[in-house]
Amino acid sequence: MDADPPRLYAPPPGFTRLRLTVAWDGRDYAGWQEQRNAVSVQETLQTALHALGGEGALRPVSAGRTDAGVHAEAMPLHWDVPTTFRVPLVQLPRALNAWLPASVSVLSAEVAPAGFHARFSCTERRYVYRLWVAPQRHPLWAGRALHVPGPLDAEAMNRAAQSLIGLHDFAAFATREDRQTVRDLLRLEVQPQGELWDIHVAGESFLRHMVRGLVGTLLLVGQGKLGAAEVEGILASRERARAGANVPPGGLYFAGAEYGVRRVEGRSGNGGEPGTHRGR
Amino acid sequence: MDADPPRLYAPPPGFTRLRLTVAWDGRDYAGWQEQRNAVSVQETLQTALHALGGEGALRPVSAGRTDAGVHAEAMPLHWDVPTTFRVPLVQLPRALNAWLPASVSVLSAEVAPAGFHARFSCTERRYVYRLWVAPQRHPLWAGRALHVPGPLDAEAMNRAAQSLIGLHDFAAFATREDRQTVRDLLRLEVQPQGELWDIHVAGESFLRHMVRGLVGTLLLVGQGKLGAAEVEGILASRERARAGANVPPGGLYFAGAEYGVRRVEGRSGNGGEPGTHRGR
């Protein structure tokens, strides 16, 4: 497999680029990105760093910009802090966590590798969408998994998923997307474990609301409202109205990201197992 | 194995005894039992039943009376409702859940078997205590698992656990307990799964705070502050001050209960695998 030469990124002069991994409970946030009149994860992190003397730091940049209500189990980000910032790296996660609310936590911190950019260097993003498949809702999964009362056909869902994996134009599954709509879907797989079902989704990057549109469409297949074969037609149509509705954000988790060799556009088919996926 | 003849219980005349399974997120409740100036699960259920025309119902009785902050994945209870109560059983879980807050849910409802009492007929209660074993806390486990930053020796914990299984006087692990303190511990087992560790605990019944005292003591063993062999001495001493502190309630889940043949007191040793345990 050929590879593009990776583009190199650098912090502005006078700054050190850190790489952090952060997790949060999406129920408390209006998403990653700072915005007026709503609490974002980005702003919450900034406030904690200021409390530690990091007022001069730039805004942190994450691998993915998640929506309100979406959770993160392990989100990589980079953060350019003034070279004068004094908190030792080995103490930084604990120091930040002492200031952060219970709903967000820094899992690790290190100096970023040379040329690193949390968003532009990212070669794979992994999500999990969680379903609670049972007649009644479960309070320990409220806001954390979508309750699906009826039975679901996991095999049919996985058959439909197979036809979506690979390099395709995913316009039929995106919402209000201005960019070009071709993406390389590396993994889309339904894994039932009793009443809790994990839908694993991986790709280099995703269109706006694409993961939630894909899951909403698989749900229709699982409920027998859509044939697995019809999903190919929906993909080919590029018409958003034909695919399933976006499932709500509470079941969605940003599960992890990779920073490996950037894949060449034009490769098609399933890239195989995209590494280790966290089961929760 | 011999068995006591099971004692039979009955609802008062004019009432039908229902058996329900209920789950809740303990963070929202001051425990199971109704009390002044605090929201209990019992009272929350009563309010929902009243909304459905069940004003004449008696208070529901649960298999275990859990403390504030303790979660329930599947708690059996019985509920004596007037024979005139009109909501069909098959619709009752959904009807109650429409009135209940997101933090509590009725998973199933049926007519109780003849002679059934949720508390007195119960032959086995199962708990899981959850640990998040990692350098930093995780927001998706806040109030749901105890964060243990340091490394833990699971093997040493399981060796110590073995010496506690069976019929013993557990006075050293109880808090403010007025009853006799001999209990039959059927299971005590640490199961690490990555950073999330489940400690499975099962027995016919438990002393006050006994599960949390047992886990607190195993933690000291896992941290190397207590030898596995010393735990036997603590058990024999019957002195509460020598055992580990009670771990906080947020990591504790009532995981399920059995209503089988009541075991004869006097049997000793491990009763073997006490059935299927929910992994989450």
pLDDT digits (tens, 9 = 90+) for B70-114: 999 999 999 999 999 999 999 999 999 999 999 999 999 999 999
Q: Among the three residues B111, B133, B156, which one is the final residue of a domain in this structure? A: B111
User: In angstroms, rounded to a whole number, what is the distance separating the alpha carbons of residues B29 and B38?
Assistant: 8
Residues A158 and A200 in one domain: yes
Residues A21 and A68 in one domain: yes
Is the model's pLDDT at B271 over the cut of 70? no
**Contact at CB, B140 and A107, closer than 8 angstroms:** no
B-chain residue closest to A72, CA distance: B140
φ/ψ (deg, to 5) at B22: -130, 145
Q: What is the pTM of this model?
A: 0.88
- pLDDT tens readout for residues B193-239: 999 999 999 999 999 999 999 999 999 999 999 998 899 999 999 99
User: Is A254 domain-assigned?
Assistant: yes
Residue in B44, B105, B146, B197 to test binding to A, most A beta-carbons within 10 Å: B105
Residues A43 and A98 in one domain: yes
User: Is A8 domain-assigned?
Assistant: no
Model pLDDT, residue B177: 85
Model pLDDT, residue A279: 32
User: Is B3 domain-assigned?
Assistant: no
What's the gap in Å between the CA of B144 and the closest CA on chain A?
9
User: Is B268 domain-assigned?
Assistant: no
Reported confidence tier of residue B65, pLDDT bands at 50, 70, 90: confident
Residues B180 and B56 in one domain: no
Provide the number of structural domains found in chain B. 2
Cβ contacts of B137 on chain A, cutoff 8 Å: 97, 102, 105
**Contact at CB, A135 and B196, closer than 8 angstroms:** no
What's the gap in Å between the CA of A101 and the closest CA on chain B?
9
Residues A26 and A47 in one domain: yes
User: Is A51 domain-assigned?
Assistant: yes
Task: Using the Cα atoms of residue B149, residue B150, residue B155 and residue B157 in order, give the sign of their dihedral.
Answer: negative
Residues B21 and B142 in one domain: no
Q: Say which CATH number the domain at A24 has.
A: 3.30.70.580
Q: Among the three residues B62, B88, B111, which one is the final residue of a domain in this structure? A: B111
Nearest to B140 among A73, A93, A134 (CB): A73
Cα–Cα distances in Å, from B158 out to A54, A103, B206, B219, B280? 45, 32, 20, 11, 19
Residues B166 and B197 in one domain: yes
Is the model's pLDDT at B152 over the cut of 80? yes
Residues B146 and B106 in one domain: no
User: Is A210 domain-assigned?
Assistant: yes
Pairing state of beta strands B182-193 and B252-258? unpaired
**Contact at CB, A105 and B139, closer than 8 angstroms:** yes
Nearest to A93 among B23, B136, B139 (CB): B136
Q: Among the three residues B53, B85, B111, which one is the final residue of a domain in this structure? A: B111
CB A196 within 8 A of CB A131: yes
CB B56 within 8 A of CB B28: no
Cβ contacts of B278 on chain A, cutoff 8 Å: 194
Cβ contacts of B103 on chain A, cutoff 8 Å: 139, 142
User: In angstroms, rounded to a whole number, what is the distance separating the alpha carbons of residues B104 and B32?
Assistant: 11
Cα radius of gyration (chain B): 20
Chain A (220-259) residues lying within 8 Å, Cβ to Cβ, of chain B = none
Residues B154 and B255 in one domain: yes
Pairs of residues, one from chain A and one from chain B, whose beta carbons lie less than 8 Å apart: 73
Domain boundaries, position B48: 15-111
Contacts of residue A83, defined as CB under 8 A and 6 or more positions apart, other chains included, come to A14, A15, A16
Which position among A25, A28, A67, A153 bears the catalytic label?
A67
Residues B64 and B150 in one domain: no
Cβ contacts of A138 on chain B, cutoff 8 Å: 23, 105, 107
User: Is A280 domain-assigned?
Assistant: no
Residues B130 and B101 in one domain: no
Q: Say which CATH number the domain at A221 has.
A: 3.30.70.660
Two tokens, residue B195: 């950073």
- pLDDT tens readout for residues B128-149: 999 999 999 999 999 999 999 9
CB B278 within 8 A of CB B74: yes
Has A67 been annotated as catalytic?
A: yes
User: Is B2 domain-assigned?
Assistant: no
Residues A169 and A248 in one domain: yes
**Contact at CB, A102 and B134, closer than 8 angstroms:** no
Enzyme catalytic residues of B:
67
Cβ contacts of A90 on chain B, cutoff 8 Å: none
Beta pairing partners, A157: none
